[in-house]
Structure 1
Amino acid sequence: MPVLVGGQRINILACHPTPPVFDGKEKRNLRRNADELRLLRDIVDGADYLSDDAGSNEPLEDAFIIIGDLNADNRYGDGDRDEIQKLLTHPRIHPSTSTGSLIPFSKHGSKMGKIVKGNRFATHESGLRLDYVLPSKELEPFASSVICTVDDLEHIKSCDSNMENMSCFGSDHRLVMVDVVLKSGDIR
């Protein structure tokens, strides 16, 4: 989805790939999640099997931001860690928010882990980093965070193992924010 900011175009790639769990021995959900992560890279690169409404399969030339619950953590969990790592280290993705000093986190995030303990980059109650805001290199990130409050932690403790109390909370995911500035002259 193209968005104009100050007359400059930023493409928003918003998505929610299949969770790589709730699977049978054939691992269809795991494979589908990996394919959907690969699709994001292919959209950015202009893979020859893709085309837009005008018939073009050119790479994205404008700035972009990939946002969403990607259902994959490059260090933990059941997802294809190689595929999420390839996306996080894609040459067009700004490294500060994907693998560097501005990876979003919350001081309470490491306390969320129902599955993974101590992951300060957790965006999900399991303790996994599943939710992302990944700006392209044409944008300059300067701040980031995951919104996880003490109240969130108290709610997580009160939920049973089947998460049946989740409906009163809204989501098992936390909000991820990345503040960016436009680099002058680089965005069309």
Structure 2
Amino acid sequence: MPTFVLAQSGETVRIATFAAPLSRDGPGLLLRDIVKGEDTQIAAIVGVIDHVAPDILVLTDFDFDAGGAAMAAFSNTLAIPYPYSYSALPNAGQQTGLDLDGDGFTGDARDAFGYGRFLGDGGMAILSRLPINETDVIDLSGTLWRDVPNAKLPMVDGRAFPSEQVHEALRVSSTGHWMVPISIGDQTITLLAYSATAPVFDGPEDFNGLRNRDELKLWEAVLDGALGAPPTMPVLIGNVNADPSDGQGLRGGIADVVTRGDLQDPMPRSAGGVMVADPTHTGDPALDTADWSDGGPGNLRVSYILPSAKIAISGAGVFWPAADDPMAALLGEDGFAAGPHRLVWVDIAVP
């Protein structure tokens, strides 16, 4: 099997994903907070990114604006700004005109294609030090849920929930599904970037649980060639919002994907996750990427970077320092200065 090659031997490219809480309560507020420079959470997020210093960074909770002003302003707050960036209007906040949650009303956050209080709420952003081939980006965010191979839409008593009309119109992607080619020397990797809905906050119909699973099925269809020729060197990346061993949701989906033969799981680890392990969980706490220990589901692995099996890997990690590590100061005294999620990184190596 061919191996990924960079322009010069000895180089590495660090790829990272971070579900940092860079969404605000209304349009334009993220840009306001970035420009003011007084938001301690943004400062902590910037500190983590500066320390890990990824060459390619996927942010999965970043408010979208049509001009990319917030994305550019955020990049400029970093120690070394990124020369390339990509974003697109997410499904989050795009109203459907339908009653998606079956509460008898339309127009609220749960009635958008993806949960969102306003257009662009909680989108995604990609920052890169390597060229992004924007003209070759494929956006699958408009794919209808019912068109995903082997999709399972919510039903109640044998009837479509909340209605057949919703099943006919609803997109599977709650935020976005982007195939983003990035040039590295004379090679191209293709990010399969997305942020899935949380598999909770629904009822017995399991609307969000089923959707979370089928958002991942869309990428499986891409990798299997069901939607055309698959990319040569894909990197599945983002917030899958599912743990293969613990937490809610249909865990078998991500459990199957991390063991696919055409992908590899670098199993990024941290010392901090081990130190605050949940005693009732069965998964390896070193792999956890989020801390919801305060009244939530505990610590889970929800963010992933799964490169093609053709790519050589030289290292991987989760930025979650042990409490006695000086770098733990970047996460604040309580560990939540940059939010509940931890940045995940993988290094692609030249053989």
State the TM-score, normalized to the length of structure 1. 0.76
1:100-139 correspondence runs (5 A): 102-113=266-277, 119-125=285-291, 126-139=298-311
- Bigger Rg, structure 1 or 2: 2
Aligned counterpart, 1:143? 315
* 1:172 maps onto 2:340 in alignment: yes
Task: Give, in whole Å, the separation in 2 of the partners of 1:111 and 1:45.
Answer: 38
Q: Cα 1:105–1:178, aligned 2, differ >3 Å: closer, same or farther?
A: same
Aligned pairs for 1:66-81 within 5 A = 66-81=236-251
The 2-side partners of 1:180 and 1:131 are apart by 18
Gaps of 5+ in 2: 1-179, 292-297
Conserved 8 A contact 1:69-1:131: yes
Moved more, 105-114 or 121-130: 105-114
Secondary structure of the structure 2 residue equivalent to 1:110? helix
Counterpart of 2:314 in structure 1: which amino acid?
A: F
What is the RMSD of the two structures over their aligned residues, measured on CA atoms? Answer: 2.1
User: Which sits farther off after the overlay, 75-84 or 174-183?
Assistant: 174-183
Matching residue's letter, 2:224: D
Change (3 A) 1:36 1:116: farther
Give distance in 1, aligned partners of 2:238 and 2:279: 21
| Superposition deviation, residue 86 in structure 1 | 1.5
The 1:87/1:17 distance shift into structure 2, 3 A limit, reads same
Is 2:222 the partner of 1:58? no
TM-score, length-scaled by structure 2: 0.42
Q: Match for residue 29 of structure 1? A: 208
Do the aligned residues in 2 keep the contact of 1:132 with 1:176 (CA within 8 Å)?
yes
The size of the alignment, in residue pairs, is 157
SS of residue in 2 equivalent to 1:155:
coil
Q: CA deviation at 1:73?
A: 0.5
Matched letter for residue 213 of structure 2: A
CA distance in 1, matches of 2:225, 2:317: 30
- Structure 1, unmatched stretches of 5+, are 51-56, 157-165, 184-188
* Distance in structure 2 (CA, Å) of the matches to 1:9 and 1:27: 38
- Cα distance, 1:142 vs structure 2: 1.6
1:4 aligns with 2:183: yes
Distance 1:79 1:115, change over 3 A: farther
CA distance in structure 1 between the aligned counterparts of 2:278 and 2:229, rounded to whole angstroms: 43
Contact 1:104–1:144, Cα closer than 8 Å, also in 2:
yes
Whether the 8 Å CA contact 1:10–1:64 is kept in 2: the answer is yes
Match for 2:303: what amino acid? D
CA distance in 2, matches of 1:136, 1:129: 20
Sequence identity of aligned pairs in percent?
34
Matched, 1:90 2:90: no
State the Cα distance separating 1:114 from its structure 2 match.
6.5
What amino acid is aligned across from residue 290 of structure 2 in structure 1? H
**Residues 27-84 of structure 1 deviation map (CA, whole Å, 9 limit, x = unaligned):** 100000000111111111221xx3xxxxxx1222x11111111001100010211111
Question: In 1, Cα distance between the equivalents of 2:306 and 2:279?
Answer: 25
1:88: how far off?
A: 0.8
Secondary structure in 1 matching 2:261: coil
